[in-house]
Amino acid sequence: MEYKMLAAKEATAKLPDGTEVVLETGRLAKQASGSAVVKVGDAFVLATVCFGPEKEGDFFPLTVEYREKAYAAGRLPGGYSKREAGRPSDEEILSARIIDRPIRPMFPDNFTREVQVIVNVLSADKKFAPDVFGVSAASLAIGLSELPFEEQVAAVRVAVIGDEYIVNPSYEQVSVADLDLVVAGTENSVCMVEGGAYEVSEDTMIKAITTGHDAIKELCKAQAELVAKFAKPKMVLTPKNKGEAHDKLEVAVKEVIFDELNAALHANMVKTQLYPKMAELEAKVVADPKILAIIGEGEAQDAALLADAKAIFAELERTTMRTMILNEGRRIDGRATTEVRPIEIQLGVLPSAHGSAVFQRGETQALVTCTLGTKADEQRYETLQGEGSKSYMLHYNFPPFCVGECKKLGMSRREIGHGHLAERSLKAVLPVTEDFPYTIRIVSEILESNGSSSMASVCGGTLSLMDAGVPIKAPVAGVAMGLISETGHADDEKIKILTDITGTEDHLGDMDFKVTGTEFGITAFQMDIKIKGITPELMRKALEQARAGRMHILGKIKEAIPAPRDHLSAKAPTMIKMHIPTSKIRDVIGSGGSVIKGMQAQTGCQINIDESGMIDIAAPNAKAGAVCRRMIEELIAEPEPGRIYKGKVKTIQPFGAFVEILPGRDGLVHISELADYRVEKVEDIVHVGDEVKVLCLGVDPKGKVKLSIKALQQKEKPAEPQGDAPAAPAPEQPQA
């Protein structure tokens, strides 16, 4: 049989609406360790995986890249070079994070080879976003490679519109959805959830997750079919630092330090006390004679055994903390499992900001500002769907000093992801552009961090909006939840759900689960699960506990500021929105923009007008805005019969004078309408440049305006005396 180099091996899965998802391998990128393609409609997503040699270290160097090529949508890239930029866009980074988060936990804990996953969108469907299918493509590529991988994973997007739950919704459906959710998981369990909503209930959220998981099961089965037939032999991992010395170290470390460690974890320490104490105890362990007898001293010390001793201490810290929570319901800072850390709030802390707030929760502190701008300040972007702009954005900064470290400054993917979560959390309560024509930028500066700085950004963002006087629908608060299980399974008898987790509880726990919302419902949701088989019942319990925590935080926000201020900051621009007929756009802009530029120079306002005739005026103060609006109204005004105008004589003809009564709009005062007596010559009454008052008689079907000075004089002439009223005295005759 002839070998076909471009022959593909395929498997098919069906989505709930009958849409076929085709997974293939063996045709493209065959020199990669693993490659796979997912095809849905016109979407064509290619994923590859490659790996490097074994590396020493205690972390897994996995890199996930996601790129959308302009040709995939039949478009040319923007910019001078007509080439995609080297740095991924924020949207591409967010998509890469969605792929990274569910596949990372599927690698073994002791795996330290460098792994690079690259996902390229080679063809895009105009109806739906292809990003979530990158999870299935990446999972299949890894499953087909030599790399160890616990289970195949997949992801789908779910939208809720009314009572309808839609898997793989279109762009149009997402734009009007009450809930937009990405769900990732294996055939047996959900491992990641992320989405935004417009104040939906906990039950709606859970049903959307289970709907998504039903589709995920089919995608995972199709992957497993290809992996079973075409996967390369898996590499064998040798256990590290195991053997007699390791067993001796485990016993010795516990004997040397357990009592002191247990006492420290029961001492109600905060981070600034706990971290130095743990470092002190670790140093004490590796300097103890019992430990040195195993790992050696000085030049004879075994570096691998030293690292093993430190790892054993870290694991002892983890298990002791988890046991304390499970058996005693007590956390390392002394809180109960449902307790939120103390909260303090200050408003208006920055004199020049339009709105500002400091939100302090425990050892996490966010300084959040709100700045209001004009339409010219909107963020412009380019995607596979074309160019667009957004009038609301939230930026999150996490400088190294907030955790007491020295590091190079720069924007990390984590910062972009946390900012995106906080941004979508507040989007549901913002006023619509038609009612509030401002560009809104919120910036969260994390000044201290010990857990859930993204949720502090949400709370601080709400406060800064209200301080600026933005009429939000309702305050939004967020809380990070955690989970501790005894054996790492959802059916454990011993499971504790933790409210408002610290950094240590996040690192040592089994779930990181962030929920934001108002008192009426959820606005955003992000969950990463480390345990297997989490059930809807457990998820519902976590959501209800999160709701209680959210309501507590909302109470603190309302104590600080019950409602948005009744006026915008005096430092914010005055914004006026008005609409004009499209036929008048040219009149407002003028030749080469001369008219609009002149108004901007005269009033100090910024004027933006779109093709629909919508005008945004950004004025330095209310008076300038009113003047600018009046000037535009005069430009687009139509002459009204019976109305008096003050105009300037522009030209004179033998039959009458043309008077400009509105900007760019003349009317004719016929010679017979110049005076209430016969006029021989127009120049006997008016001259070019004269300012005169005229009465509009009407506008004929051709748009010609008829004006009159005579009719106005008659209208303004005093009435003749009636009846027996005394006659006016006769004027004196001049003397001869």
d(CA 434, CA 641): 33
d(CA 61, CA 115): 6
What is the CA 197 to chain-centroid distance, rounded? 12
Residue identified by tokens 């021989």 is 680
Q: Where are the alpha helices (DSSP H) in 445-502?
A: 453-468
d(CA 392, CA 373): 10
- Lookup: tokens for 464: 């800064």
Write the DSSP string, 464-484.
HHHHHT---SS--EEEEEEEE
Q: Is 512 flagged in the annotation as binding? A: yes
Answer whether 655's CB lies under 8 Å from 683's CB: no
DSSP category for residue 671: G
Q: Where are the alpha helices (DSSP H) in 109-201?
A: 133-144, 171-175
Burial of 395 (0-12, 13-18, 19+ CB in 10 A): middle
* Host H or E run for residue 248: helix 244-265
253 — phi, psi (to 5°)? Answer: -60, -45
Q: What angle do CA 424, 429, 435 make, to 5 degrees?
A: 120
Residue among 172, 173, 133, 140 nearest 156 (CA) = 133
Q: Where are the alpha helices (DSSP H) in 439-581?
A: 453-468, 503-508, 536-560
d(CA 361, CA 622): 39
- Lookup: tokens for 80: 């001078």
* Residue-wise burial string across 398-418, b where 16 or more C-beta atoms lie within 10 A, e elsewhere: beeebbeeeeeeeeeeebbbb
Residue among 397, 383, 481, 345 nearest 91 (CA) = 383
Burial of 615 (0-12, 13-18, 19+ CB in 10 A): buried
Q: Where are the alpha helices (DSSP H) in 266-357?
A: 271-287, 289-295, 303-328
- Lookup: tokens for 13: 């899965």
d(CA 27, CA 37): 9
d(CA 533, CA 701): 77
Give the bridge partners for 397, in sequence order.
445
Residue among 442, 438, 433 nearest 367 (CA) = 442
What is the CA 395 to chain-centroid distance, rounded? 9
d(CA 668, CA 708): 8
User: What is each CA distance from 375 to 380, 577, 617, in whole angstroms?
Assistant: 11, 11, 9
* Residue-wise burial string across 331-364, b where 16 or more C-beta atoms lie within 10 A, e elsewhere: bbbebebeebbebebebbeeeebbbbbbbbbbbb
- Lookup: tokens for 425: 């959390």
Residue among 500, 481, 579 nearest 539 (CA) = 481
Residue among 324, 334, 296, 143 nearest 234 (CA) = 143
* Host H or E run for residue 258: helix 244-265
d(CA 716, CA 576): 37
In the annotated binding site for Mg(2+), the residues are: 506, 512
- Could you tell me which residues are annotated as the binding site? 506, 512
